[in-house]
Amino acid sequence: GAPGEVLDDGLTIACGEGAVRLVQLQKAGKQPMSADTFLRGNALSAGTRLG
């Protein structure tokens, strides 16, 4: 996929070379959360472009 593209429903994100899987993230002004917790309240499907 193109850099910034969500590759699957588990927050694997394409990079310039390879991919990175997010296991924890933090929204601005919020506490850190696991990717699973984030996905329960936010729909990001494969093909979505971040950034």
Amino acid code (one letter) for 44: L
Q: What is the pLDDT of residues 9-32, one digit of tens each?
A: 889 999 999 999 999 999 999 999
Q: pLDDT at position 4, please?
A: 95
Q: pLDDT at position 16, please?
A: 94
pLDDT grade for 44, boundaries at 50, 70 and 90 = confident
The number of beta carbons lying within 10 Å of the beta carbon of residue 12 is 16
Domain of residue 25: give its range: 1-51
Into how many domains does the chain fold? 1
DSSP string for 1-51: --TTBB-STT-EEE-SSSEEE-SEE--TTS--EEHHHHHHHS---TT-B--
Q: pLDDT at position 25, please?
A: 94
- Which of 17, 21, 24, 27 lies closest to 6 in space, CA to CA? 21
Q: pLDDT at position 51, please?
A: 83
